[in-house]
Amino acid sequence: MEVADEDGALRVSNVYGSWPAVRAAAEAGDGLTAVLPSRSGRDVGWRGSRACAPQTVVESYRQAIGFRPYGEPRSLRRPQIGALHAVMGHWASGLADPGIVVMPTGTGKTETMLALLVAARMQRLLVLVPSAALRDQIAGKFETLGILQQEQIVTPAALRPRVGRLERGFKDPDEAARFVAACNVVVATPQILNKSVGNVRMALLSSFSHLIVDEAHHSPAETWARVIDDFSERPVLLFTATPFREDGRRLPGRMVFRFPLREAQRLQYFRRINYRAVFGVEDVDRELAEAAVGQLRADLAAGHDHLLMARAESIPKAEELGVLYQALAPEFSPTVVHQNVGVTRRKAAVTALRERDCRIIICVDMLGEGFDEPP
């Protein structure tokens, strides 16, 4: 559960207890949040109960998750339990190479990360993601342990981790160390992480015991590789659905688990795509938009809770499409998001999408890989 942070852009939040207790606590507004002020030299401030320290959370993970075969009650999915066994085996081998885990879209990468946090009793985990939207999504999953307790895969005695969202760089090494010390998990983008330099960066990164890289096909890029290199003597995992890059560069590590795409399709972890071709003669954008809006209206009339996403190649094109969709379907409140749109407006757009105040969103390089919104 997250409490607004008036002092800075760094938050640590969690709610403790079994699933029914957590739900009741969330409804009652009873939670714990650690807030680090933006000014250097001040200690972490707390709102709510201070009952559990980060180490207490880690200790609660002893025997908190079983390695039940898939198909049994309270078990992980087949790709998830396979990845869990493979990663634990890789770490037991003593090999220092980063482990690469390949899991197709829809097979449950994030819940696998959560299961590993509990099974390995990680002392302090850094999760690297490619975008702010994905940072908030992944952090939210860690704050609640996803559905692992709800499905009784993780025992009710396991405490929810303290999760930090890194939204700005640090200038003071003590400030960085205090913030990380307040967390079990920190989720960050490499761009924000690399704004902390020199001894500040060292103080920040040296505090973590493990690194998980999500959407790891980005990892050969310089900003990502710098972080991975700093973890050379500590366990590193690279999660991806697409281990191959267009530029041919290899991911840094050895593959420890790969779940085949054909098996994911056979098990219907994701469904068949109904492709409709649009052959524009005069105004391709308008004809495509009309077909898409028509499909959305038909899906809604059929009782499906669907949304429409239009992806553009440039910001000017996205703005142009926003005007077009607004003219065609104002009742769906078409919204444009891109890197020039402020953070507040971007968050408002995602909130409107999830609350269904908006059903059409036009994007440029946003809400793409890893973003979880099935409708």
Each domain of the chain, given as residue ranges in start order, spans: 10-266, 284-363
pLDDT number for residue 367 = 65
- How far is residue 324's CA from residue 290's CA, in Å, rounded to a whole number? 10
pLDDT number for residue 91 = 94
Mean local confidence (pLDDT), 230-250 = 79
The alpha carbon of residue 42 and the mean position of all alpha carbons in its chain are separated, in whole angstroms, by 29
Please name the CATH architecture into which domain 10-266 falls.
Answer: 3-Layer(aba) Sandwich (3.40)
pLDDT category at 39 given cuts 50, 70, 90 is low
Mean local confidence (pLDDT), 206-234 = 82
* Residue whose pair of structure tokens reads 């310089």 in the numeric block: 222
Mean local confidence (pLDDT), 19-26 = 36
Of 144, 148, 121, the residue nearest 62 (C-alpha): 121
Among 246-255, 269-278, 319-328, which range has the highest average pLDDT? Answer: 319-328
Interior angle at CA 306, CA 301 and CA 310, nearest 5: 120
pLDDT above 90 (res 116): yes
Please name the CATH architecture into which domain 284-363 falls.
Answer: 3-Layer(aba) Sandwich (3.40)
Give, rounded to a whole angstrom, the gap between the first and last alpha carbons of the chain.
Answer: 24
Mean local confidence (pLDDT), 179-193 = 90
Of 350, 259, 14, 282, the residue nearest 160 (C-alpha): 14
Domains 10-266 and 284-363 share a fold: yes
pLDDT above 60 (res 368): no
Percent share of the chain, pLDDT over 90: 35
pLDDT above 70 (res 23): no
Q: Kindly state the tokens that stand for 73.
A: 């009650």
Among 85-99, 142-156, 359-373, which range has the highest average pLDDT? Answer: 85-99
Q: Kindly state the tokens that stand for 135.
A: 């940072």
Query: By the 8 A CB rule, do 204 and 196 touch?
Result: yes
Angle between helix 109-119 and helix 132-144 axes, rounded to 10 deg: 50
pLDDT category at 373 given cuts 50, 70, 90 is low
pLDDT number for residue 192 = 87
Q: Kindly state the tokens that stand for 248.
A: 């041919």
**More confident of the two residues 346 and 190:** 190
